[in-house]
Structure 1
Amino acid sequence: MAEMSPPPPQDYRPSKGFRREVMDAVTPRASILLLGVLVLELAFIVSYIGAFHSPKPSRVPIAVVAPAGAQAALVGKLNALPGHPLSARSADSVGQARAMVLDRSVEAALVVGPAVGADRLLVATAGGPAGATALQLVFQKADGPRRVVVTDLRAPNPADGRGLSSFYLVVGVIIGGYLASAALAMSFGARPANQHRTLVRLGALAGLSVLSGLGAAIIADLVFDALPRHFWTLWWIAVLITFATAAAGMAFQVLLGPIGIALSVLIFVVLGNPSAGGVYPASLMPPFWRDIGPALPNGAGVTLVRNYSYFGGHDTATAWWVLAAWAVGGVLVGVLASLRRQAKFGVMGPPRAEEGTVG
């Protein structure tokens, strides 16, 4: 008795011919999605190369300590350098200049020595080694034959390498935040069916954010010892960063459907990561990235993690407000947009097809 061939899979169908299969497979909707992917890809390349291709200092805030008769003239000379790499201000003493560097009022301080001798450049490489190196080159050119000796007031922890652990921790939890909102969208529809579903989704994102922050703090502090002695602070900062990103991502989806996922990638990855001040401080980046960085969760998050890990939490007020605004704004926009949709479509919400289900 001849063996029977197994039945074809349920989704199998005979080919209609190559041309017809192409027309069926590459629908107008699929073409638009592919075009969107291409646009995001090129935007990614433009953003990262644009931010990092030619770092140079621009109006970097520094303090200057010099003999009384020469201090004002030196400040004026530094502020008039070609290209305006520095924004110099006077400091009354070396002690005040040191404090200004460590509370992040300035990036560095120049202490001018006697007529014959070396000047000192006080820096804190924990705030970004690339910035300190760029400033050293500026002063070497500006002072001509005078030597500039660099004094590092706050170096990165030995396990923190070039001081990039803060940046990578923030990148990780940012990715977790927008992927969490995208995962819920792919599972249950980009637009929650009603207000209760919106609140449940926000609760799930909040719970994930707590776990995300805990994992980030364990890895950065306890596992690798890269950012030690700040476990609880790192935990709750990472919770806020994750939730701000996730809530904003969900709000984009409620407003725009599946396109909201692409908007999250554009804001948090394409624009947010290169402008965050991780690889290069804001003072070395072109104006566009320098201006948007502090207003995005990425830049605010790096400021919080770095400044609490190394600088006692100084100069963080703006970063707290930025992250709080993204978190609260995401919740409010998501809830209000959901209420509006519920009023429009009724208690049961729109048909499944209108929810913007992905996949």
Structure 2
Amino acid sequence: MSHVTPQAVPMRTILTHVVVPALMGVAMALCYIGGFSKPDPHHLRIDIVGPAPQAAVATSQLQNALGDRVDLRTSDSAENATEAIQHRDLVAAYVLSPTKPQLLVSTGASDTQAVTVERMFTPVANQANLPLEIRDVAPVDSSSDPSGQSLFFYMVALTVGGYGTAIAIGVAAGSRRMRVRIGLGVGGAAVVTFLVMLIASAVFDAIPSHVWEISLLSFVYLLAVMAFGISLHVLLGRFTTLAMVTIFVGLNFTTCGGVFPPSLQPGFFSALHSFWLGAGLNEAGRNLMYFPDVSIVTDVWKIVGWVLVGGALLAIATYVQKRRLTPTPTPPRDQLDPESEEELEEDVAA
């Protein structure tokens, strides 16, 4: 009995497949190490609260000592500073006192940012041999979200489920019409949103409030993810996973503000926070849960903008696929050169 030896896969094919996960590792290293490894405050907006002459002197001295890590201004009222923090206009406030200074912070805005400010101002009180009282004026829900990062972990699960579903639709439904794939994407966005929110809220009670509003934002968020995944499969082929992981994991998770706010990150990641998709969902959800007086309109438009870009990519992908499926017309025989005519006869005979 004869055995048929399988034809060896060309080395070029092997290498083109291997290069994709290798590049994914490079992309993740650049994003995660670049965005998370060296958090350093820059231009934190902080008020120095106290009588005008004393506050002015303290502000000047502290600004010189802390440099561009902070932007200090004076305030004559701890109440005004508290209100500004609760509206996210301030990061913190240092209240002067001859016996017991206070540091007003907000873990609701960012626990890591609050800790950073505390580390900066504790030595200031220690130099004067005074105890520093830390007062959290916009705290997280200590029972449901003690770290202030539950929304970030929720977004991670939502995103991974979303882009995995989008890639699966692009591959498995690649022979279907684009409108069918889009319908599957909309359905997939709804299912993934429902399942992830069910686990986050009902099983672990990790989303303390505004479940319906955050669910709606999550659904729109996933519409963008689905649109990118389905369209990029047509436009990029095997490099779709690399592009999706880079866009929605590497850059998305590092710039959303879930671990470190933009004020603690390098300029590149801080700049992306102003318009990236994950930042829109994270900041809108954070405002809904902990800052009810702060508008989420800007963050909602970030998400909607990505949906619009995804829609444009779907339109381009639809056009490209139609071009690929359109047969090339065969010119009349009298316009063929002898070599082309011979090839056409061979094709007809075959």
Give the TM-score of the pair, scaled to structure 1.
Answer: 0.82
Within 5 Å, which residues of 2 pair with 1:39-188?
A: 39-113=23-97, 116-143=98-125, 144-145=127-128, 146-157=130-141, 158-188=143-173
Cα deviations across residues 265-315 of structure 1 (Å, max 9, x unaligned)? 111112221222212222122222222233222222211222211111625
> Does the CA contact (< 8 Å) of 1:176 and 1:242 recur in 2?
no
- Once residues 317 and 138 of structure 1 are traced to their aligned partners in structure 2, the CA distance between those partners, rounded to angstroms, is 33
Aligned amino acid, residue 224 of structure 1: F
> What secondary structure, in the 3-state scheme, does the structure 2 residue paired with 1:272 have?
helix
CA contact (8 A) 2:217 2:300 kept: no
Whether 2:285 is the aligned partner of 1:305: answer: yes
**Structure 2 gap segments, 5+ residues each:** 329-350
| Superposition deviation, residue 209 in structure 1 | 1.5
Change (3 A) 1:13 1:214: same
Moved more, 281-290 or 178-187: 281-290
User: Which residue, 274, 298, 315 being the options, matches 1:294?
Assistant: 274
Give the direction of change, closer, same or farther, for the CA distance of 1:259–1:72 in structure 2 (3 Å limit): same
Change (3 A) 1:103 1:219: farther
Q: AA paired with 1:61?
A: R
Aligned Cα RMSD in Å? 2.6
What letter matches 1:183 in structure 2? Answer: A
SS at match of 2:253: coil
CA distance in 2, matches of 1:269, 1:325: 18
CA distance in 1, matches of 2:104, 2:232: 44
Q: Is the 8 A contact 1:105 1:315 kept in 2?
A: no
Identify the match of residue 268 of structure 1 among 239, 243, 248.
Answer: 248
In structure 1, the residue matched to 2:342 is none
State the distance in 2 between where 1:321 and 1:48 align: 26
In the TM superposition, what whole-angstrom CA distance separates every residue of 1:76-114 from its partner, at most 9, and x where no partner exists? 44443445111223445222211111121122122222x
Q: Which residue of 2 aligns with 1:337?
A: 317
For residue 294 of structure 2, what is the aligned residue in structure 1?
A: 314
- Distance in 2 (alpha carbons) for counterparts of 1:310 and 1:347: 58
What secondary structure sits across from 1:118 in the alignment? coil
Structure 2: distance between partners of 1:149 and 1:69: 23
Amino acid at match of 2:17: L
CA offsets per residue over residues 126-148 of structure 1, 9 Å max, x none?
Answer: 22221111101111234532443
CA distance in 2, matches of 1:244, 1:220: 21
> Which structure is larger by alpha-carbon Rg, 1 or 2?
2
Identity %: 25
Output the amino acid matched with 1:49: I
| CA distance, structure 2, for counterparts of residue 249 and residue 96 of structure 1 | 47
* Equivalent residues of 2:145, 2:208 under 8 A apart: no
1:355 alignment counterpart: none
Kindly state the Cα deviation for residue 335 of structure 1 after the two structures are TM-superposed.
1.6
**Distance of 2:58 and 2:261 partners within structure 1:** 25
One of 267, 271, 277 as aligned partner of 2:257: 277
Q: Distance in 2 between matches of 1:313 and 1:211?
A: 31
Find the aligned partners of 1:60 and 1:93 in 2 and give their Cα distance.
Answer: 19
For the 8 Å contact 1:104–1:315, the answer to whether it is kept is no
Name the aligned partner's letter for residue 141 of structure 1.
Answer: P
Alpha carbons 1:78, 1:86 under 8 Å: kept: no
- AA paired with 2:116? A
Q: TM-score, normalised by structure 2?
A: 0.84
Does the 8 Å contact 1:199/1:335 carry over to 2? no
**Secondary structure of the residue that 2:191 maps to in structure 1?**
helix
When residues 311 and 345 of structure 1 are mapped into structure 2, their CA distance, relative to the original with a 3 A threshold, is same
2:198 is the counterpart of 1:213:
no
Shift in Å at residue 340 of structure 1?
Answer: 4.8
Cα separation, partners in 2 of 1:80 and 1:33, compared to 1, 3 Å: farther
Shift in alpha-carbon separation, 1:77–1:337, aligned structure 2, 3 A: farther
- Distance (whole Å) between structure 2 residues aligned to residue 201 and residue 313 of structure 1: 40
Which residue does the alignment assign to 1:4?
A: none
Offset of 1:41 from its aligned partner? 0.7
Matched residue count: 325
Could you tell which deviates more after superposition, 24-33 or 171-180?
24-33
Distance 2:32 2:48 in 1: 34
